[in-house]
Structure 1
């Protein structure tokens, strides 16, 4: 794979050049359209008495004008796509430089009741979501969040394979993302799916055949009236009859049109996205499976969507007053176009949810593929079934800049529990979140921030950031106890292996009570064969290592040299001997 920054700079230069070229062509087309318009009017005026020439100009001029207008629209659409690709690459370069706090932070997805999301900065300012998210469709964002929160330890290898493949398809990913950014709709895909699935057609085949017959009769009546075989006034009465027939179904067709109005832009844009998926050759099982879902008896879903989009546009023409009067009066166009829409819904409505889901899936997995592409120095964990939960070398926090990131090696077996001590600011909490993100990212299928990693899939559960609640009348201590009970109950169910991460538990009580309670809680977890880590300042807790073989002590060190505090942020075996609270109080002249 190409180096990310080099790739983004190359793409940025390419799309800027294309946008500049298209801007010039759009300018020329605008000038040509105006010239054709003026010349057509001038030509008709000058040849008004020569009706053959004037008629020719009246036909050729507008035809050329419409051709130029079509080209103008195509160029504007293409330029808009290139402009989105420019912004996309500029954003990637910004984020690569560490500037990502302008991105949506996903605060709305924070959930204190979730097994881990609040504790590990998954959402909010400076979060993993804010750093990694590149989804552009609302449902794609929700799906990305679902993967982060799922705690799903099944089918990881399939997701890894799909992400690896998409990481290689950088140009395709960017094209898909830029196209999906063109989806502007006030209505969610779910609301459209609900409407399509629940809609019950009211027009029968005889309505359609009747409209065709009525249209043929209209042509004959108009023709006969023009050549004065019958009084021309009959065509007026026929027009009123057509309007009366259309008016009989007006209310129900209006209801249909109201829903199609909210859906047409989505179907038009999704057709382009489905076309992108159809035209790409995939090799991974998961991507091929999703691609297979958008086939329908040998017909491409994108073609089916385009056909529906055209039917929706045709029905939308009823908003034109002249078209509505003469189209319905002579052709029963509302009935005919509504019938086409209903027939499409009848034939394909049950498949729309699957097709929308595939579009959403690729929006989500493009985000995962982009993350993998941007972090080619990360590694995909080797999935194992042996007794070691995590064996990692060079393990670091994925959101820290590479030149600032301090890494550690770690080896933690199943049913083993680490007690980590250390001075304030020595790196304990960052290390806990590093482990937590390793597990979350590995379960999603992403590469992790490590030189190498061997991982036995496990679910994550944490207690690191408990808050009190005035609205629920819960104290901080009661909230913490509730959280710890949640952890014990979850592990006791034994539905899956769990990795427990705890940071300084029982902070809401006195030190003696805290020490006794923390010790008993760790002993309880060990008895339940839990795997995990607890960080603490309470050195008495490290005595458990002498009594329980499953417990191991580790620490982060701090040293005071020449009246200055130094940290190496490295995980070491043993118990921390240097604490720094008193030193910092004195250094900052607090005491």
Structure 2
């Protein structure tokens, strides 16, 4: 069986080979253009010297056509080279991810960091060294936003998770589809641009321009102006040619039927009409120009999606929205819109004002845009959301593809529980240490003691990030994993906020307040508490922690609490206690400290603070019998 790493290496080698061929083709075309230019120049000089003027004209015509064709061919090859380069980068990124070099990926999701979120800040879901940085393959604004939502929002129900799991399993096998979709988003020029403005604009319709009388009048007027203007222009051109070549024959009588002043008068009328509500038209045209590249990218991404057949009901239901009742695909519908926007985007030239005054191009563009909005404007946002959903699912599918031995979690109903076999932290790579876990009735709170650096916080983050993956429909870093859907809260990483005059202790209180509130509302709560109330004195810390754990350990909740307060471990012996003690420990070898990061049942028998102080150079003498 070919490993994921080997598969990416083969694909990367193939695309690099194609890249060299394409570069060679571009170089050959450039050389050919130079050779043809020199050859044509020599032929033209020779034909002119021999006074073969008809050959001179034929050579110029052929050379022009040939140069245009070669320019088109070179441009086309350069575009294909750009796509191939992007595919090489995608596969190189995949190789780096598997080798553990993903920490340098550019998109860290830092813009999604929210210190007040229930758990994402504590678990490093976004930011440097985050889950998002590790796996994100979404490049459009909507795709990134959708992946963020999947990682931070509670799933609706078990079926919602299973639907995403089925989609992820199918997309895992479609490496070409995933990479091509990623490619099309990657080359998007404005992929960080929020399309909210575009969505609102696509639904906003200017009905006044679409009234039958207005459309008929504008089209009739521009057609009459065009015909009369062209007729007069032909007459003028005929006069010029006659003067140059000494032709005395007069132009056909049809050209004299229209006086010069008629088109001039009509053009003046049209210029006046073009001033009416010009600002409104400019707003529409500027919007079309602003989002031209985005719309073109969306069209190409939708076309790619429509080319593929899917078996997952979840993806099939997504793709159903891409066709109207007549069977016309979304890519074709957006293609019509993209064609209009592309022409509008090319209007920045000197000749445009002249053409606009004759043909009233602006009005025809506006009419076409407004007609498109009436037909498809309300569907546009849904199409782009489908792209975003598939980008997010493809990102999650990479986890399954690159880690085939990770398990798809089993989501169950009933009392809160988490059961895992050989569970590790997905971001630690080969350095991870896996542990078994079983938290369910009659025990609902795992109290974890242990010395400094023994692995308490990492273990809790391991539980948390695997829960996030499970709820996202992704595989988890475990041989087996089973859990229920719970409202997830954590209080692990708190600090002073000088801007809001909030101390770390008060910030911790605010987080815990949210957990208690959710518990009182009768929700099934999953909570992670790391060294709670560490910002106050030992007596208050112990009393407050014991009361909080007791309150949160009621039926329906499930939690993990790490602490250095060994006295808290006595709660396991209380009557009807739902607390179970676990610990991490260290060992010493040749006067050096080592950690095995293995979870054990019971209370930590070791402490290493004094040892670490001495290691730091602090002269700590024997205190109360402690060495």
Which bracket does the TM-score occupy, shorter chain normalised? over 0.9
Which among 193, 196, 218 is matched to residue 199 of structure 2? 193
Question: 5+ unaligned residues in a row in structure 1: which ranges?
Answer: none
**Matched residue count:** 588
Is residue 321 of structure 1 aligned with residue 327 of structure 2? no
Summarize deviations over 1:164-202 as a string: whole Å, max 9, x none.
Answer: 111111111111111111111384322211222224252
Q: CA deviation at 1:304?
A: 2.0
Aligned partner of 1:158 in structure 2 is 163
Instruction: Measure the CA separation in 2 of the matches of 1:499 and 1:465.
Output: 17
Aligned partner of 1:123 in structure 2 is 126
Aligned partner of 2:623 in structure 1 is none
Q: CA deviation at 1:37?
A: 5.2
Instruction: Measure the CA separation in 2 of the matches of 1:338 and 1:35.
Output: 46
Instruction: Measure the CA separation in 2 of the matches of 1:228 and 1:45.
Output: 39
**SS of the residue 2:584 aligns to:** strand
Summarize deviations over 1:367-395 as a string: whole Å, max 9, x none.
Answer: 11122212222111022225462111000
Q: How does 1:4-43 map to 2 (within 5 A)?
A: 4-36=4-36
Summarize deviations over 1:402-452 as a string: whole Å, max 9, x none.
Answer: 2x2111111111571111111111111110000001111100111000011
Instruction: Measure the CA separation in 2 of the matches of 1:113 and 1:317.
Output: 46
Aligned partner of 1:295 in structure 2 is 323
**TM-score (norm. length: structure 2):** 0.88
Q: How does 1:197-208 map to 2 (within 5 A)?
A: 197-200=203-206, 202=209, 204-206=214-216, 207-208=218-219
Deviates more, 1:126-135 or 1:393-402: 126-135
Which among 71, 74, 79 is matched to residue 73 of structure 2? 71
Q: CA deviation at 1:124?
A: 2.3
**SS of the residue 2:436 aligns to:** strand
Is residue 522 of structure 1 aligned with residue 549 of structure 2? yes
**SS of the residue 2:596 aligns to:** strand
Is residue 211 of structure 1 aligned with residue 222 of structure 2? yes
**SS of the residue 2:490 aligns to:** strand
Instruction: Measure the CA separation in 2 of the matches of 1:232 and 1:52.
Output: 36
Q: How does 1:351-430 map to 2 (within 5 A)?
A: 351-387=379-415, 389-402=417-430, 404-413=431-440, 416-430=444-458
Instruction: Measure the CA separation in 2 of the matches of 1:63 and 1:244.
Output: 40
Residues 232 and 360 of structure 1, relative CA distance in 2, 3 Å threshold: farther
Deviates more, 1:361-370 or 1:31-40: 31-40
Q: How does 1:85-484 map to 2 (within 5 A)?
A: 85-103=87-105, 104-154=107-157, 155-185=160-190, 187-200=193-206, 202=209, 204-206=214-216, 207-223=218-234, 226=238, 227-229=251-253, 230=255, 234=259, 238=263, 241-242=266-267, 244-246=269-271, 248-250=273-275, 251=278, 252-296=280-324, 297-325=326-354, 327-387=355-415, 389-402=417-430, 404-413=431-440, 416-484=444-512
Deviates more, 1:99-108 or 1:458-467: 99-108
Instruction: Measure the CA separation in 1 of the matches of 2:257 and 2:45.
Output: 31
Q: How does 1:556-571 map to 2 (within 5 A)?
A: 556-571=584-599
Q: CA deviation at 1:58?
A: 4.4
Would you say the 8 A contact 2:415–2:556 is kept in 1? no
Instruction: Measure the CA separation in 2 of the matches of 1:492 and 1:171.
Output: 49
Q: CA deviation at 1:364?
A: 1.9
Instruction: Measure the CA separation in 1 of the matches of 2:261 and 2:31.
Output: 43
Instruction: Measure the CA separation in 1 of the matches of 2:512 and 2:357.
Output: 73
